[in-house]
Amino acid sequence: LMQVGDWGRRGQYNQSHVAAMMSLQASLVGPDFVVSVGDNFYPSGLSSPSDEAFSKSFSDAYSAKSLQVPWYTILGNHDYGDKCYDEQPGCYPTGDLDWRWNCERTFQMHLAGGDVEFFFIDTSPFVQKYYYTPWANFTGEQSWQRQLAQLEVNLMTSRAKWKIVFGHHPPRSNGHHNNTVELIEHVEPLLQAAGVQAYFAGHDHNLEHIHMPRRTPHYIISGGGSKTERPFEGREGSLFQWPSSGFVSVKLFEEEIAVEFF
């Protein structure tokens, strides 16, 4: 698979360059699918199912033949809205506009006869500062408590050899946004207890690999789908840092996961 995040800028701010490199890599490895970890449409998600941002930022930007595979997508904070814009509802059923598009707030995927299980989560409701913005409305199925309880059940009952979680916000990061303390408090202990091997995220507009001593998950941050930000602000637990645009290509083998940064 290939994974990218923080990209939806109508082809601008390096998005078209990253898309071109993704298409080249996809032509070489033939990915089964692409995962997007959110901030799919800047500045504040889609205004309606017919919003032209969908075609300009997704269908047109990733039109290469090699990228005509399913895209599994979760929400970032900008898909809900932002402080400069109106509230937007996040996910729309846009699969009829482009067959590749699959977007949910939370879902699971079972692969390789159950040996591999992917868990996709909606991290924005965990972040307390968003509750004081005019666009945040995290209730019902978006409740972080309900989501955490369901994630615990799903992870702890999983018999998969490989358990991999995808979320927009990383628990740990040395980028501009730094750690997400709510995820460290509520989600990271669960990742450790369940033996999750890797957690893929975006949010910070760079590429990074973090692995803390005696902590199970490897954090792979790939939020460089378009515009980049400030330099890294630290190196805690960091095995790799790249302060620029890019994406990752992932291969799962029986005994290892190979992650390549581009």
d(CA 4, CA 248): 7
d(CA 235, CA 174): 6
Determine the residue type at 161: K
Residue of 138, 163, 162, 168 whose CA lies nearest to 151 = 163
Check if the beta carbon of residue 175 is closer than 8 Å to that of residue 242.
no
SS3 35: strand
> How far is the CA of 96 from the CAs of 90, 99, 170, 184, 215, in angstroms?
17, 6, 31, 37, 42
205 is catalytic: no
Candidates 78, 169, 177, 205; catalytic one: 177
Determine the residue type at 43: P
Number of CB atoms found within 10 A of residue 153's CB: 10
**Letter string b/e over residues 165-182, b meaning 16 or more CB atoms within 10 A of that residue's CB:** bbbbbbbbbbbbbebbeb
Helices assigned H by DSSP within the chain: 15-29, 52-54, 77-80, 144-157, 181-186, 188-194
Active-site amino acid positions: 177
